[in-house]
């Protein structure tokens, strides 16, 4: 069943356009490749929700508006707000060195080449700054084009990057392990994925003296009414969490990655991953992205300053820093199935700097490997979130995401 809520017809979507959106989403569910999904789109006070399919690929309970999803990398734009609060309050500064809080990142060595042995290094030219961490340019990250190199092997072997929240060690041990690795690139030189967002969580915790989740809850989740967002799903809500699948890349057969009860997200994790650890709902995520569209306010209350929102949602990379990101999106489409071709990167999210599809310049947001997507568009005052739990080991969830955005932009009613 699809569910629709219309609060205001002005400046929103056409009925015909929303009908087409429903049909396109239903086609993906009916194909058998996507067990179920929930989508929420809003514009000009008009909100439309679709909840289609079931929680499991072999049936089970229907998807509902309040279904809770593993957000994967769509965690990044939300967890970044914690750092923006600290910037607003001058508790950290962009060009502060991170060493007072993260001594594990002092006195770095840098690989001579990306495929060098771990001891074939030169000293870092300068220390790592807060800016390097917030822009994902501090020198370490997950590079899918460098798999099999000694540094990437070490990142996986030492648990610095884990697809599972439960496998990672606690934050202090995680930082200790990170500190045993050389950097892949000089600080500030090159954009790299994922690890900086996890470093951010540890940085926020050490600056504030609270756990990363406690600070997010106090300053972001509770003020926005994000009651179902966190780093695990409590027992009294676990029936709202679907099974998560990673389809077999050859056969497409559904392989369970994570069950709900007794699974990775059923207990508080030892490591609260800013890069990919959140669970949430379409309404919670909509509240966050609508706050960004509102310039930092929610229901008359200021959550972030307008300059903070503008900074995090504007491309912050130089052409040199962005070159690797652009090349990965452009030249390795078979890895990402076309995700990531936006042109720029702000803080924890992509920012469109050129017209590469139906979305205009200035749209910001990100996608997640569990089949999640969430973006906002200031030009059209549009926000959208689409959530599945089908991992991107096959193109199916990526194609669903592309079709969602392609059809949504056609539904704009002016």
Backbone CA torsion sign across 17, 19, 25, 28: negative
379 by Cβ neighbours in 10 Å (0-12 / 13-18 / 19+) ranks as: exposed
Residue 329 has pLDDT above 90, yes or no: no
The CA distance from 281 to 205, in Å, is: 24
pLDDT for position 237: 98
Q: How confident is the model at residue 166 (pLDDT cuts 50, 70, 90)?
A: low
Residue 335 has pLDDT above 80, yes or no: no
DSSP 112-163: SSTTS-TT-EEE-SS--BHHHHHTT-SS--B-GGGTTSHHHHHHHHTTSS-S
Lowest mean pLDDT among 194-208, 289-303, 309-323, 337-351: 337-351
CA distances from 204 to 83, 125, 155, 201 (A): 7, 25, 22, 5
Residue 5 has pLDDT above 50, yes or no: no
DSSP secondary structure letter of residue 55: E
Which stretches of 32-108 are assigned E, i.e. beta strand?
A: 36-43, 46-56, 59-62, 69-70
pLDDT for position 8: 39
Cβ neighbours of residue 282 under 8 Å, at least 6 residues apart? 38, 39, 40, 49, 65, 385, 387
pTM of the model: 0.95
pLDDT for position 308: 98
The residue assigned the tokens 């030219």 is: 125
pLDDT tens figures, 262-299? 999 999 999 999 999 999 999 999 999 999 999 999 99
Pairing of the two strands 343-345 and 350-352: antiparallel
**Nearest alpha-carbon partner for 132 in 224, 72, 43, 197:** 197
Vertex 193: Cα angle to 153 and 405 (nearest 5): 130
pLDDT tens figures, 226-263? 999 999 999 999 999 999 999 999 999 999 999 999 99
């Amino acid at each position: 069943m699809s569910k629709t809520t219309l609060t205001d017809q002005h400046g929103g979507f056409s009925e015909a356009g929303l009908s087409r959106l429903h049909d396109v989403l239903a086609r993906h569910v009916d194909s058998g490749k996507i067990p179920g999904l929930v989508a929420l789109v809003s514009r000009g006070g008009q909100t439309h929700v679709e909840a289609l399919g079931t929680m499991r690929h072999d049936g089970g309970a229907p998807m509902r508006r309040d279904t809770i999803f593993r957000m994967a990398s769509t965690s990044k734009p939300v967890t970044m707000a914690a750092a923006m609060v600290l910037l607003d309050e001058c508790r950290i500064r962009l060009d502060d060195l991170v060493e007072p809080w993260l001594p594990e990142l002092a006195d770095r060595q840098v690989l001579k080449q990306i495929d060098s042995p771990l001891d074939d290094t030169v000293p870092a030219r300068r220390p790592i700054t807060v800016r390097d961490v917030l822009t994902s340019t501090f020198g370490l990250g997950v590079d899918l084009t460098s798999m099999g190199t000694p540094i990437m092997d070490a990142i996986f072997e030492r648990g610095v990057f884990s697809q599972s929240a439960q496998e990672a060690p606690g934050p202090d041990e995680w930082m200790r392990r990170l500190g045993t690795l050389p950097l892949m690139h000089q600080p500030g030189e090159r954009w790299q994925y994922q690890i900086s967002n996890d470093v951010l969580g540890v940085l926020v915790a050490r600056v504030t003296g609270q756990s990363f989740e406690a600070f997010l809850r106090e300053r972001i989740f509770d003020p926005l009414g994000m009651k179902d967002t966190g780093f695990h799903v409590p027992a009294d809500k676990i029936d709202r969490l679907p099974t998560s699948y990673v389809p077999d890349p050859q056969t497409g057969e559904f392989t369970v990655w994570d069950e709900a009860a007794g699974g990775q997200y059923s207990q508080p994790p030892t490591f609260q991953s800013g890069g990919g650890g959140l669970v949430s709902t379409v309404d919670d995520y909509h509240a966050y992205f609508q706050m960004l569209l509102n310039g930092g306010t929610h229901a008359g209350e200021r959550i972030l300053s307008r300059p903070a929102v503008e900074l995090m949602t504007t491309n912050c990379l130089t052409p040199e820093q962005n070159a690797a990101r652009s090349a990965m999106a452009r030249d390795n489409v078979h890895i990402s199935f076309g995700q990531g071709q936006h042109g720029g990167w702000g803080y924890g999210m992509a920012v469109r700097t050129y017209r590469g599809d139906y979305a205009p310049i200035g749209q910001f947001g990100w996608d997640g490997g569990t089949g999640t997507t969430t973006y906002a568009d200031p030009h059209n005052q549009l926000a959208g979130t689409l959530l599945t739990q089908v991992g991107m080991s096959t193109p199916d969830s990526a194609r669903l995401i592309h079709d969602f955005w392609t059809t949504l932009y056609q539904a704009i009613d002016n």
